[in-house]
């Protein structure tokens, strides 16, 4: 089974819709230990991309690049450059391949994580979106190496994203505004880990719909 790169529209719009639906939730989480603007900023970037896409078709890789550019250049806070880098590195790793195999998708996620590591010092355990993205990379790479069914691997990635997000609840924030709270940041989900979970789960849902 493969995801045809040409079928990117459904995947990208699933991501846009998920961020839009969760903008208040993300803002509420961010408001507990951050400045509360994460949902608003993310929604602005994703909705702007969706509006520009309009009724046009797009490949998955072109869409990731264009969404990344919008996030990088047009939304405030640290998350624009972070997600912009992840998505553009993911797209570059595929090099406009016709078929996004499970193995290639694992490579795309890994490239996104490596790109992120190039601009932030955060690593697993620091209560950031790394705690969601890193286990998803490992999950998909392992599934590809084991020859698992694509849809099953996407289901497993969604479970890994959820577990990764939830793991941040008991961590102490090491970076960002929340880091100033020290131990008081424990007991609350990280907003970036939460948005990453929402985005990756929506990406997987969109991919499952176009698998062939």
The pLDDT of residue 145 is 98
Average pLDDT of every residue of the chain: 95
Inform me whether the pLDDT recorded for 76 exceeds 80: no
Q: What is the pLDDT of residue 25?
A: 97
Residue-by-residue DSSP string for 176-211: SGGGGGGGGGTTS--HHHHHHHHHHHHHHHHHHHHB
Query: Is 90 exceeded by the pLDDT of residue 68?
Result: yes
**Domains of the chain, earliest start first:** 3-210 (1.25.40.340)
Render pLDDT for 127-169 as a digit per residue (tens, 0 to 9): 999 999 999 999 999 999 999 999 999 999 999 999 999 999 9
Report pLDDT for 180: 78
pTM flag (> 0.85) = yes
CA geometry: angle at 198 spanning 189 and 76, to 5°?
80
For the stretch 84-122, pLDDT in tens is 999 999 999 998 899 999 999 999 999 999 999 999 999
Residue with tokens 């089974």: 1
Interval 164-191: pLDDT, tens: 999 999 998 988 878 777 787 799 999 9
Give the dihedral sign, CA 113/42/64/14: positive
pLDDT the model gives residue 7: 97
Pairwise CA distance, residues 149 & 74, whole Å: 38
What pLDDT does 183 receive?
A: 82
Give, in order, the Cα–Cα distances in Å from 51 to each of 16, 17, 65, 67, 205: 10, 12, 15, 11, 21
What are the backbone dihedrals phi and psi of residue 100, each rounded to the nearest 5 degrees, phi first?
Answer: -95, 90
The confidence band for 34, taking pLDDT boundaries of 50, 70 and 90, is confident
């Amino acid at each position: 089974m493969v995801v045809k790169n040409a079928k990117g529209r459904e995947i990208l719009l699933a991501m846009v819709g998920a961020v839009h639906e969760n903008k208040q939730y993300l803002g509420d989480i961010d408001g507990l230990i951050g400045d509360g603007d994460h949902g608003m900023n993310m929604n602005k970037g994703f909705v702007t991309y969706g509006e520009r896409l309009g009724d046009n078709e797009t490949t998955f890789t072109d869409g990731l690049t264009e969404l990344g550019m919008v996030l990088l250049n047009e939304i405030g806070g640290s998350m624009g450059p972070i997600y912009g880098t992840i998505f553009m590195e993911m797209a570059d790793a595929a090099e406009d391949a016709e078929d996004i195999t499970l193995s290639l998708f694992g490579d795309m996620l890994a490239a996104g994580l490596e790109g992120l590591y190039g601009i932030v010092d955060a690593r697993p355990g620091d209560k950031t979106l790394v705690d969601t993205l890193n286990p998803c990379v490992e999950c998909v790479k392992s599934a590809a190496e084991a020859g698992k069914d694509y849809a099953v691997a996407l289901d497993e990635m969604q479970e890994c994203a959820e577990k990764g997000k939830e793991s941040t609840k008991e961590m102490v924030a090491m970076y960002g505004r929340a880091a100033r709270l020290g131990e008081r940041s424990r007991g609350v989900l990280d907003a970036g880990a939460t948005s990453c979970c929402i985005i990756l789960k929506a990406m997987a849902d969109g991919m499952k719909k176009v698998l062939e």
